[in-house]
Amino acid sequence: MTRLSRIAKALLVATAITHVGFFAAAYGALALAGAPFPIAGSALVTLVGYAGMVALVRSGLDDRKSPAWRVRFLRIPYFVHWCACVFTLVPDLLYLVLRPLGGLAVGDVRVPPSGFLVVYVVGLVVCTYGVLVRRRVFQEIHIEVRVKDLPPAFEGFTIAHLSDLHIGALTPEEWGHRWVRAANAFGADIAVVTGDLVTSGTAFHEDIARVVSALRARDGVYVTMGNHDYFGEGEPLVSLLKAGGSRVLRNEGLVLTRGDARLYLAAIDDTWTRRADLDLALAERPAGVPCVLLAHDPEMFPKAAARGVDVTLSGHTHGGQIAVPFLARRFSLATLAHTFNVGVYREGDATLYVHPGLGTTGPPIRLGAAPAVVRLTLRAAA
């Protein structure tokens, strides 16, 4: 709760800072339109923009059911505006510095507010794409993972991997069913969901359970919990998932078999709430049997590799949600906070795959970090 309180305060401060540029843009628009009292008018719309974030913060953790019209015509447009304000921060600062410098040669160092308006309009276009298009359109990714001493019977074993669904008011159930249909088309041996099925609260637990229960795989569907799954009461979700036919693994594992060949599948619980116990998850692992670990937080990878885990499947980072196109691995918001950002990492014989996620948290936007449904195929190491 303390961390979340800090995040709320940071959001309010960030909103205040980024709306300074919006004030200038609004003033530029009203002045160009010849509106009376442009300063007062721009101050009013800026306060309304700030009040929108205050209302969101006051709603707290609980992601509630909302009428579709409210989400579509109020919340989504507000987030487009908010993201546009964040987008304009650096361009506005550059404009404030470079415009007077460029005007020195002609003796005009004024900073016309129309420049702020242009930057804000560009931000609106980019962020409209990120909110309405990029987060909706997902990729299908196919990856081969080399495993030391993989039994021949498990050669070509396939895993449909989903992560960070964040089903809620801004990520509807119908999106989840589209992801599931894509995963089911893989015809995978197992399907896994590596945490953060929830955005927050408990209102969407039944929606999530319907989505996950629609997953199909020959050897079952397995789920592990993420930090957002405990932003509210997590146990009702676990019960619903189990009732729908999924196996929820929390600090435990099981042996998958192909004749006499064996593969150990394990999962740890959430690290944020300090429920994770790697020792307990690996306690029943037979000696010499390859291991696949589900761990929502990829920061567990070094410990897992040190314990001889062959493949770790994670999520949590969303690939940053906002990243430099085609360079998301190196330049994204996730690189500021995570050692393992997105994609495949290796440490000795161990492999980590960090899923880019499917839903979003915070602002419902993706730029340069596409959502994905992933199929991993296990192959014996040379």
CATH fold for the domain made of 140-380: Purple Acid Phosphatase; chain A, domain 2 (3.60.21)
What DSSP line would sit under 309-335, residue for residue?
-SEEEE-SSGGGSBB-TT-TTTSBGGG
State how far the Cα of 379 lies from the Cα of 159, in Å rounded to an integer.
12
With helix as H, strand as E and coil as C, how does 263-313 read? EEEEECCCCCCCCCCHHHHHCCCCCCCCEEEECCCHHHHHHHHHCCCCEEE
Record the tokens describing residue 114, joined without a space. Answer: 């129309």
CATH code 3.60.21.10 region(s) in the chain: 140-380
pLDDT for position 348: 95
State how far the Cα of 50 lies from the Cα of 53, in Å rounded to an integer.
6
State how far the Cα of 359 lies from the Cα of 208, in Å rounded to an integer.
12
Assess contact for 141 and 344: CB atoms under 8 A: no
Record the tokens describing residue 354, joined without a space. Answer: 């960090």
Q: To which H or E segment does residue 261 belong?
A: strand 261-267
State how far the Cα of 308 lies from the Cα of 311, in Å rounded to an integer.
9
**Tokens 């019960």 found at:** 239
Residues of the chain with pLDDT under 70: 1-4, 60-61
Q: What is the pTM of this model?
A: 0.94
pLDDT digit string, tens, across residues 54-98? 988 877 657 889 899 999 999 999 999 999 999 999 999 999 999
Neighbour-count burial of 246, counting CB atoms closer than 10 A to its CB (0-12 exposed, 13-18 middle, 19+ buried): buried
State how far the Cα of 16 lies from the Cα of 14, in Å rounded to an integer.
5
Going edge to edge, which strands form the sheet with 247-248?
A: 139-147, 372-380, 158-162, 190-194, 221-224, 247-248
Compute CA distances 336 → 91, 327, 333, 341, whole Å.
21, 14, 6, 9
pLDDT for position 165: 98
β-pairing, 343-347 vs 372-380, is unpaired
pLDDT for position 102: 85
Neighbour-count burial of 324, counting CB atoms closer than 10 A to its CB (0-12 exposed, 13-18 middle, 19+ buried): middle
- Measure CA of the first residue to CA of the last residue in the chain; give whole Å: 48
pLDDT for position 189: 98
pLDDT digit string, tens, across residues 49-63? 999 999 888 776 578
